[in-house]
Amino acid sequence: MKGSRWILLKNPENLKSKNNELQRLNDALKLNEPLAKAYYLKDELRLFWSHESKTAAESNIMSWIIKAEGSGVKMLIQFARTIRKQFKRILAYYDCPISSGILEGTNNKIKTLTKQAYGFRDNQYFKLKLLGLHRSKYQLTG
């Protein structure tokens, strides 16, 4: 099981054959049945985002909830209950498919820079550092 943690977090298509990751994954899943259930359910839940229609996604997530609640794994059951409670909000993605991922990443960078900024002597330098966060991606004006 040692060193299997990161392999379990990878998507199956990202496993590297040169590191024998697929075999290591299979060995880890054979050793621990609850872990195997969680791994396969994780992969199935990931498919939710790839559906073309809201109806197909709804069918997928309801099927997933039933499987997770019947898995016998306490953490999966709790997670399935949370998803059931937030069901309508999760499905709202299909009404308006936008993500706040880029915004969350930028906020995280700003928080990290703010922690590092304790040594900055003036606010102007801090502002320049903030503007420089995305200088390579975006053209700044003004």
Measuring CA to CA, how many Å separate 45 from each of 51, 57, 61, 68, 126?
Answer: 11, 10, 7, 10, 42
pLDDT of residue 142: 44
- Number of separate domains in the chain: 2
- Per-residue pLDDT tens, the chain, 142 aa: give them: 666 777 777 777 877 777 777 788 888 888 888 888 988 899 889 888 888 899 999 999 999 999 999 999 999 999 999 999 999 999 998 998 888 888 888 888 888 888 877 767 777 877 887 788 766 555 445 4
**Spatial separation of the C-alpha atoms in residues 93 and 88, rounded to whole Å:** 9
If one counts every other C-beta atom within 10 angstroms of the C-beta of residue 80, the result is 22
Looking at residue 48, the DSSP 8-state letter turns out to be G
Which range of residues forms the domain containing residue 88?
Answer: 49-98
- Nearest to 54, CA basis, from 99, 90, 98: 90
Is the residue at 113 inside a domain?
yes
Give the Cα separation of 135 and 140 in Å (integer): 7
In a shared domain, residues 70 and 89: yes
Residue 44 lies in a domain: no
Question: Is position 142 within any domain?
Answer: no
Does 75 reside within a domain?
yes
